Structures are given as C-alpha cells and as structure tokens.
Amino acid sequence: MSAWETVIGLEVHCELKTATKLFCCCRNEFGAEPNTNVCPVCLGLPGSLPVLNEFAVELAMRIGTALNCEVRPSTFHRKNYFYPDMPKDYQISQYDEPINVGGWLELPDSSRVRIVRAHIEEDTGKTSHQGDTGRIHAADYALVDYNRAGVPLVEIVSEPDIRSSAQARRYVTELQAVLVATGASDGKMEEGSLRVDANVSVRRAGADAYGTRCEIKNLNSLRSLGRAIDHEVDRQVPLLEATGVVRQETRHWDEDAGRTIPLRSKEEAFDYRYFPEPDLVPLAPDPAWQARAAGAIGLLPAARRERLHGLLGGAPAAQQVDQVHVVVGQGLDDLVVAAAAQGAPAELALVRAANELAADLDAARALDPAAFGALVVMETRGALTATQAKAVLRELMSAGGGDPAAIAAEKGFEALSEGTLAAAVREAVDANPDEWARYCGGEDKLAGFFTGLVMRATGGKADGKAIAAELRRLRG
C-alpha cells in the first residue's frame, strides 16, 4: 500500500450556453472573426455599464440545483488586477455571496464529491503572442481577441474530496454530463467550454491534516488533467521525502513537455482588492423563478443512463456501458430513446449515437430524432448495410434531418434481396474451388477473400455480416 495519499480539489469553469454575453447583447459564440462580437460594454469603454443577462442567472440556478446546492440571494464583486485581455482590468465575479453554495456530485462509482460553491462570473478575452515561436517570452507582440470577453461562466469549486487522477477524470466527466443535461453548457472541452484548475497536495496515508497544495492551471482536456495530476504527485512526493516541504504556488501545465512549471508563489499572489460591484444591484431570484429553473433541468445523467440500460435490457456488456456514458455525456441519449420508441433496437441506436453522432456534436444535437430513428430501423431491417447506413446518417446530420429512405434511393443504396446475395456467394464459391476447400478445412480468414469478391460483384451493396452468415451456412 502506498505511503502517500493524493488530495485533489477541482475548480471547473463552465461557459454558459446563452445566446448573448453576461452583461451586454453581443453574441456568445465560439470561432467568430476576432473582435467582431464586441461593443462598448464588453470592451470596457469609458462610460459603459453592465446589465445582467437573466438567462445566465437561470442556467446558473439550474447548475446549482442539479449539484444539490442551496440557491441563494447573491451579489457581484469586482476582482481587480491588470491583464491586457481583461478590458476593464477588473473581473466582475461573485465573491462572498455566491448564487449556489454547499452541494455534492455523485459519481457513477458511487463516490460523492462535495461542492463548495458554483458562482457566476465573466470570461476574459484571449491573447495570442505573435512572432517567432508563438511562446510568450519569444513573442514580438501580442494580439487580443475580445470576442470571449464577457462570456458568462459558472465556476464550480469542489471540496478536496478527490483522491486520484482517475477519480478526478470521472468527476469532470460526470460534471460535464450534468452541465450538458441541464442545458447549461455544450460541454466542449476542446473549445474551452469547460476549463479545469486542479489543487493538488499529498499527505501521509492516514494523516488528518492536508499537505501544502499547488494549483495547476491550463488543463484543457481530461488527458491533461490526468497527466498533470500524476506528474504533480510524482513531483511532490520526492520533494516531501527529501526536504519535507512543498512550496504553495500556482503552476502551469506544459502539455508538450509533460510537466508543471511554477507561475507564481503564494507571496507573489495578487491582492485582488475585492469590493462590491457598484454598477450592479443585488440578485435575489424569487421562488417562482427558482422553481422554473429547477423545473427546466429534466433528467440528470444517472437517470438518463438508467433509462438507456432499461432499453438495452438484461446486463449490458462492458462496451455498452462505455457507450451509454459517451451518449449521455454528450447529451445524445434522447435520440436513442426516440429511435427505440420508433421500433429500432436500442443496441444499434446506441452504437450509431456513440460513434457517428458523437463524432459531430453540433450536427448530432440539431438532428431530427425521427430521421435518426427511421434510419436505424432501415439498417436493422437490412434495407441498408452498415456502411450505407453511416453514409445516409452523414447526409441526415448535415441537413439536420430528412427522409433516410429517399436519401438511400438517391444514392442507389438498395439492399440486395436475400436471393441475390446467396447467388453472388454461390458464384464466388464455384469460381474458386481451391480457396473454398481451404476455407472449409478451417482457414477462416479466407472469409475475407470471398467477402471481397461478393462486394465487388454487387457493387458494394451487400452487407458484410450477411455474406459471412451465408458462407458459414454453405460450409455447414
């Protein structure tokens, strides 16, 4: 047993899926031309004033409710520090009176991570360093894009209840599923919709007191999160064993180098000079509004997974459990449920959702459930091969829906009748007696040889599985 125990607390910044920014009417969208979604307010021009986005408050309340927090009257503060991508050189955030306090999140492994708070704040712009290598220290100059400045965030702060990098990844995965299920976030870590800071310390197994923690920033994927925590533990343990001391500091995760590097020590920490934001009034959502927010949450991930398992029936295979996690985590489970309701087998709908739909979330989330259901039904009936079904699904996703039968007909995807398939297999077998003999003698890999011939003969319209079945039948 290890002599050291890892202690982790996570701060997750979640960009809210609102149409507009937190304090102005500029669009909240990812990937627009730099500095096109800006106005006097989010540029912090002299004389401009913030006006709070009601829907951002509603989404924050949904998050708090889903995380079992107490939703409270709250206030905004200014967090003062100079940074070029922060237009006002202060961030409007919630400080000592956040909207959500004291909840928990239960992970699929039944462990519980307590939530300290989940508060509202505004995002900053993005600085890109130009010239030479693109790295800060070698840059000639920097460009700032303020499109992200003022985008609404909810920062979810956990207690230091997490004990391993694997649990940290499970926590973020489950939290992401909650944020997607409540409609608060699109959950896209790769676009920065979820950003994680990890507070990591180690202590002797069995000790009561926490060790000195380091805060690790710039964790933009689950992989980074896991690697950074493991690296940090591997850094701290030998330090403690050799010197007994870890310096409290903020560290930056360098993904390429695979290590954390110091940013600033506790002594160098900013004095943010928090004080109540005088341009905003206290926020006190009335019970009716809170109830509306709570009512808009719908099913949470655990219930959604249970619903899929119910549709699958019996004890699901390990692969299916993973597929259920992916599909629920990405908010695609409603499509599977809808397909099942149209008569499609949940198993196949799940496979298509976990693979083809999850590969293009924006298109999948906009897809008409009826079209998806109809497609899975066609594939199940054998009217389309797997390859053909995927091709039709791509069309459906790019159009947001449509009639899969019409698309299949347009593409010339007519599934072969059983007779045609059997005839084609027979023909291939008769033309290659030697190979057939070896196949019958136990060389199973020759099935691929025959499948290729049949595919060529049918112009790719045959279903691979059906050919294999016919070959096995003939071999007897």
Partner 1 sequence: MSPESALAIAGAVRRGERTARSVTDAALEAIAGRDPELHAFLHVAADEARTAADAVDRAVAAGRDPGPLAGVPIALKDNLCTRGIPTTCASRILEGWRPPYDATVVGRLRAAGAVVVGKTNLDEFAMGSSTENSCAGPTRHPMDPTRVPGGSSGGSAAAVGAGLVPLALGSDTGGSVRQPAALCGTVGMKPTYGLVSRYGLVAFASSLDQIGPFARSVADAAALLEVIAGHDPLDSTSIDRPAPEIGRSLDAGVDGLRVGVVAELLDDTAPDVARRVREAAEDLARSGAQVEDLSMPEMRFGLSAYYLIAPAEASSNLSRYDGVRYGLRVDGPDVAAMNTATRTAGFGPEVKRRIMLGTYALSAGYYDAYYGKAQRVRTLIIRAFDRAYERVDVLLGATAPTTAFPIGERTADPLAMYMSDVCTIPSNLSGHPAISVPFGAGDDGLPVGVQVLAPALCEGRMFQVAAELERAAARRAADGERGT
What is the per-residue DSSP string for 135-175? Answer: -GGG-SEEEEE-TTTT-EEEEEEE-S-B-SHHHHHHHHHHH
Quote the least distance from Cβ 270 to partner 1, whole Å.
Answer: 10
Residues 144-173 interacting with partner 1 (rule: CB under 8 A): 144
Strand ranges (DSSP E) for 171-230?
Answer: 194-204, 214-219
Is residue 88 a contact point for partner 1 (CB under 8 A)? Answer: yes
Is residue 450 a contact point for partner 1 (CB under 8 A)? Answer: no
Is residue 241 a contact point for partner 1 (CB under 8 A)? Answer: no
Q: Which residues contact 319 (CB under 8 A, 6 or more apart)?
A: none
Q: Is 122 helix (H, G, I), strand (E, B) or coil?
A: strand
In whole angstroms, what is the distance from residue 97 CA to residue 5 CA? 33
Write phi, then psi, for 136 (nearest 5 degrees): -55, -50
In whole angstroms, what is the distance from residue 181 CA to residue 248 CA? 36
Is residue 143 a contact point for partner 1 (CB under 8 A)? Answer: no
Return the DSSP state at 189: G
* Of residues 280 and 299, the one with the C-beta less far from partner 1: 280
Applying CB under 8 A, the span of 41-49, 185-193, 315-323, 347-355 interacting with partner 1 comes to 41-49
Residue 135 exposed, middle or buried by CB count within 10 Å (0-12, 13-18, 19+) = exposed
Q: Which of 4, 48, 188, 230 binds partner 1 (CB under 8 A)?
A: 48
Is residue 46 a contact point for partner 1 (CB under 8 A)? Answer: yes
Q: Which residues contact 188 (CB under 8 A, 6 or more apart)?
A: 30, 194, 361
Residues 310-349 interacting with partner 1 (rule: CB under 8 A): none
* Of residues 124 and 320, the one with the C-beta less far from partner 1: 124
Applying CB under 8 A, the span of 57-65, 75-83, 257-265, 296-304 interacting with partner 1 comes to 75-83
Pairing status of strand 214-219 against strand 249-254:
parallel
Q: Which of 17, 78, 227, 304 binds partner 1 (CB under 8 A)?
A: 78
* Of residues 269 and 437, the one with the C-beta less far from partner 1: 269
Applying CB under 8 A, the span of 83-91, 207-215, 237-245, 352-360 interacting with partner 1 comes to 83-91
Element (H, E) at 395: helix 386-399
* Of residues 14 and 41, the one with the C-beta less far from partner 1: 41
Q: Which amino acid is at 253?
A: W
Per-residue exposure over 189-212, b if at least 16 CB sit within 10 Å of its own CB, e if not = beeebbbbbbbbbbbeeeeeeebb
Applying CB under 8 A, the span of 188-196, 272-280, 381-389, 394-402 interacting with partner 1 comes to 272-280
Q: Which of 42, 56, 90, 240 binds partner 1 (CB under 8 A)?
A: 90
Is residue 432 a contact point for partner 1 (CB under 8 A)? Answer: no
Q: Is 114 helix (H, G, I), strand (E, B) or coil?
A: strand
Quote the least distance from Cβ 44 to partner 1, whole Å.
Answer: 5
* Of residues 48 and 68, the one with the C-beta less far from partner 1: 48
In whole angstroms, what is the distance from residue 154 CA to residue 131 CA? 34
Listed residue (211, 206, 243) closest to 8, CA to CA: 211
Is residue 473 a contact point for partner 1 (CB under 8 A)? Answer: no
Q: Which of 4, 32, 43, 474 binds partner 1 (CB under 8 A)?
A: 43
Q: Which of 30, 70, 84, 418 binds partner 1 (CB under 8 A)?
A: 84
Q: Is 31 left (phi over 0), alpha (psi -120 to 50) or beta?
A: left
Is residue 278 a contact point for partner 1 (CB under 8 A)? Answer: yes
Pairing status of strand 126-130 against strand 214-219:
unpaired
Q: Which of 205, 207, 281, 431 binds partner 1 (CB under 8 A)?
A: 281
Element (H, E) at 463: none
Is residue 49 a contact point for partner 1 (CB under 8 A)? Answer: yes
In whole angstroms, what is the distance from residue 60 CA to residue 54 CA? 10
Is residue 267 a contact point for partner 1 (CB under 8 A)? Answer: no
- β-pair partners for 219: 196
Q: Which of 31, 47, 287, 314 binds partner 1 (CB under 8 A)?
A: 47
Is residue 45 a contact point for partner 1 (CB under 8 A)? Answer: yes
Applying CB under 8 A, the span of 44-52, 287-295, 362-370, 378-386 interacting with partner 1 comes to 44-52
Per-residue interface string for the shown chain with partner 1, residues 1-40, x marking contact by CB under 8 A: ---------------------------------------x
* Of residues 82 and 257, the one with the C-beta less far from partner 1: 82
In whole angstroms, what is the distance from residue 14 CA to residue 11 CA? 10
Is residue 275 a contact point for partner 1 (CB under 8 A)? Answer: yes
Quote the least distance from Cβ 199 to partner 1, whole Å.
Answer: 20
In whole angstroms, what is the distance from residue 63 CA to residue 176 CA? 11
CB 395 within 8 A of CB 405: no
Per-residue interface string for the shown chain with partner 1, residues 51-70, x marking contact by CB under 8 A: xx------------------
Is residue 237 a contact point for partner 1 (CB under 8 A)? Answer: no
Residues that bind partner 1 (CB under 8 A): 40, 43-52, 78, 80, 82, 84, 87-90, 142, 144, 271, 273-275, 278-281
